Amino acid sequence: MEFEQYYNSLFRIHYSQFISQIPDESRYHDDPERKEIITIQRSRLSNKYTYLDFLKGEEYNHFIIALYYSVLVDMVFFTYYPQNYQQFQSLTKYPKFIGDCLSTCRFHLEPNEIFKIIRHKIDYKKNLSLAIPVMKTEVLNFFRDYLPEIDGEIFWNKCKENLPI
């Protein structure tokens, strides 16, 4: 299955399955009252937990790449468009990638950290490159349809500047 097909058909299902396994105190670490902002603590992607064991082979690779892009897009939006972030966050519900308690749980981590902690190592540079056309289209369509006041091309270029490829 190609990344585009995975992203458009299975990613959201797998994301929900992954997130639903994480205990509330971690999943809503930054929003325990409202439970609207989802957090993924670094260790939740590691060998310490089995949350991703339902994913095998190519689906695992695609999931990690799609998760990376979700975290990246959220981080770029928060950094460059803070005045519109609340609206963006309410539309996307993209997760925040944070450190682990007790020492780094109040810090948002760079999405590149995902590749350092995951249980099964992947050729992330190759996979990120192959996903670029899909994710660019996703970003451009999102801004066209939901936030037309933001230039999708400029936003995508900011995302590309942060890719580790």
Q: What is the pLDDT of residues 130-154, one digit of tens each?
A: 999 999 999 999 999 999 999 999 9
Specify the pTM: 0.94
In a domain, 64, yes or no: yes
In a domain, 81, yes or no: yes
In a domain, 161, yes or no: no
What average pLDDT does this structure show over 71-87? 96
In a domain, 116, yes or no: yes
Given a cut of 90, whether residue 80 has pLDDT beyond it is yes
How far is 76 from 80, CA to CA, in rounded Å? 6
| Average pLDDT over the chain, rounded to an integer | 94
- Coil, helix or strand at residue 39: strand
The count of domains in the chain is: 1
In a domain, 164, yes or no: no
Range of the domain at 18: 3-156
In a domain, 162, yes or no: no
Structure tokens at 148: 């037309």
In a domain, 26, yes or no: yes
Q: What is the pLDDT of residues 105-115, one digit of tens each?
A: 778 889 999 99
Structure tokens at 41: 């603590």
Confidence of residue 120 (pLDDT cuts 50, 70, 90): confident
Spatial CB neighbours of 63, under 8 Å, sequence gap ≥ 6 = 6, 11, 14, 15, 18, 52, 55
In a domain, 93, yes or no: yes
How far is 101 from 128, CA to CA, in rounded Å? 29
